[in-house]
A and B are shown apart, each in its own frame.
Chain A
Amino acid sequence: MTKAGIVGAGITKFGRRTDANLNVLSWEAIREALRDAGIEQKDVDFYTVGNAGIWSEEQLPAVTVGEYSGLSGKGTMRVEAACATGSAAIRNAYLSVTGGASKIALAVGVEKMYGVDTPTVVELIGRAGNYFWEFENFGLTFPGYYALYANAYLSKYEAKEEDLALVSVKNHHYGSMNPYAQFQKEVSVEEVMASRYVAHPLKLLDSSPITDGAAAVVIAEENTARSLTDTPVWIKAQGVASGSANLSKRRNFLSLEASVLAAGQAYKQAGISDPVREIDVATVHDCFTIAEVIAYEDLGFTRRGGGIELIREGQTYNGGLIPVNLDGGLKAKGHPIAATGVGMAVEAVKQLRRQAPASRQASIKNGVALTHNVGGTGHYSYVTIYSV
């Protein structure tokens, strides 16, 4: 199997992008990725478009995006894996390259969540579990699913809501240094605690926002990658797993089994045995503050129950044991569902190329970055290891 590397990366400003429709927003990211790679549309053999949709009008987004972006004629598909859609789009482009079907493949993630009003988004993402047995009768909302995990975790490890708030404080801190982030301002523990409850014990400032955005990466096979750039960022390993749709079938509410499985696969493929020593920077799926704490444990950054201590001790700030979400995370950078995973890849590329703003550039010692992208509440999990 040939190696595959990212040779071009592009991302749009995340936020309420009422200025751009789905196709326009995608092109903004694709154009930047093509320019970054120094290639043109004719050089692309295959492209994938991640889009969860429903809240935006296009039903065939891979084709409308391709038409707007000058990619018509190329093989394509729409990819969907809930909030891990972006990583799934990368997965398909990556497999197309490593399998030898393409020399250059493009993966795009785009979401236009402001295409409908907020109550409609609440209604739609509440269905992102097992529709009939969770939403239809009981009205479990998306924050509600993670709230089940939060209450179980806080109870088991005698942690407080104030501890979870520290994740929001950290990620807003880094969001304030990211011009692409939806929220570029700091928040305090007091502000998080004073924000209204969404689903007990999670509050508005524990939660990622509704976001529009797009991101794109160009993936090339080894020789092509080396001919295009001196600094390809290799996709060294990727673990992929799923969990039960129905949360009642989960073993416990302290861990996302899919993430444990995906991390295990990725570490094995990459030969990583001590993640916090071997990984320079991580981007994890903090759709809610509790999700980041559990991710620390599922990814083996600490023991069970140790996640809350890592954030209390500030060990996931830049310069700590392992810096996490230096782009602001989903919490502050925003969470345009399908763009999130591709946005994580863009961040990994910029960190490994040492192109992040100096104030939030991690120290790159091993040349290894990790991204952790969860779909649903651990319904899908993608853990990817990037290296230079």
Chain B
Amino acid sequence: MDGKVPVVFDEKDGVPIFIDQRELVLSYRIPVSRIERFFEGLTKGQLLATKCVSCNEVYFPPQADCPKCSSSKLEWVKLSDEGKLLSYTIIYVKPVSFGNEDYAVGVVGLPDGVNVLARIWEAKKEALRIGSKMKLKIGPDRKGNLVYGFEPAGE
């Protein structure tokens, strides 16, 4: 017969495996029309949240609706540039889409009453201490896209 069957033998177990011949590439299209201002803020070096006009609840990540009072009247507020490191981790086993260099992620508590999960620009564990002061820094990631993060503020 001409042609073949796409069956290979598993490299560890030696059992026959059919290799799927269809490939699926997924890249989602995520609507952001209600929070467009957030992205404008990033380009100006600002981290923005939303605040409910009627109950004063601050939302980060920003959202256009307040579920507490069912209101959609929220205003944009700029968050503080300084906060406290609540926890962090350094990612050694990375998703392929994030490249080869180790990086850190953490959660910083801000005086505005919200916590922000963000890039920690310092990825050496000796330089990071829970409870220490952190400073906002918005900058490009390895693909040149602006992301928000924090770095140790020093004393």
Contacts and interface: CB of A to CB of B under 8 A. Distances in A.
Nearest to A204: B93
B95 A122 contact: yes
B7 to A, nearest CB: 12
B76 to A, nearest CB: 17
Contact of A137 (B20, B93, B115, B141): B141
Nearest to A116: B20
Contacts of B73: none
A196 B60 CA distance: 34
Nearest to B97: A123
B147 to A, nearest CB: 5
Interface in B44-92: 60-61, 86-92
A200 interface: yes
Contacts of A140: 89, 91, 105, 117
Interface string A97-141: 000000000000000000000010011001000101111011111
Interface residues of A, number: 41
B12 A253 contact: no
Interface string A182-222: 00000000000000111111100000000000000000000
Interface stretch (A63-71, A241-249, A273-281, A300-308): A241-249
Given A18-B13, A123-B96, A200-B125, A141 B91 contact: yes
A263 to B, nearest CB: 23
B105 A138 contact: yes
A139 B107 contact: no
B60 A248 contact: yes
Contact of B98 (A57, A139, A252): A139
Contacts of B145: 137
A254 to B, nearest CB: 10
A257 to B, nearest CB: 14
B87 A141 contact: no
B30 interface: yes
B5 interface: no
Given A18-B13, A247-B117, A148 B88 contact: yes
Contacts of B117: 133-134, 138, 140, 246-248
B91 A16 contact: no
A19 B15 contact: yes
A57 B20 contact: yes
Nearest to A203: B92
Contacts of A253: 86-87, 107
Interface centre among B94, B115, B116, B117 (most CB of A within 10 A): B117
B93 A122 contact: yes
A138 B89 contact: no
A133 B114 CA distance: 14
A16 B10 CA distance: 11
A95 interface: no
A152 B86 contact: yes
A202 B87 CA distance: 14
B95 A18 contact: no
Interface string B94-119: 11111000010111000000111111
B119 A138 contact: yes
A197 B30 CA distance: 33
A319 to B, nearest CB: 35
A144 interface: yes
Given A148-B106, A199-B89, A248-B117, A141 B15 contact: no
A137 B116 CA distance: 13
B130 interface: yes
B17 interface: yes
Contacts of B89: 140, 144, 147-148, 150-151, 199-202
Interface of B: 10, 12-13, 15, 17, 20, 30, 60-61, 86-98, 103, 105-107, 114-119, 125, 130-131, 141, 145, 147
Interface of A: 16, 18-19, 57, 119, 122-123, 126, 130, 132-135, 137-141, 143-144, 147-152, 155, 196-202, 246-250, 252-253
- Nearest 10 interchain pairs by C-beta: A147-B89, A139-B98, A152-B87, A248-B117, A200-B90, A248-B115, A148-B87, A123-B95, A155-B130, A197-B92
12 contacts: A18-B10, A18-B12, A122-B95, A123-B96, A134-B117, A137-B141, A138-B105, A147-B89, A199-B93, A200-B92, A247-B107, A248-B116
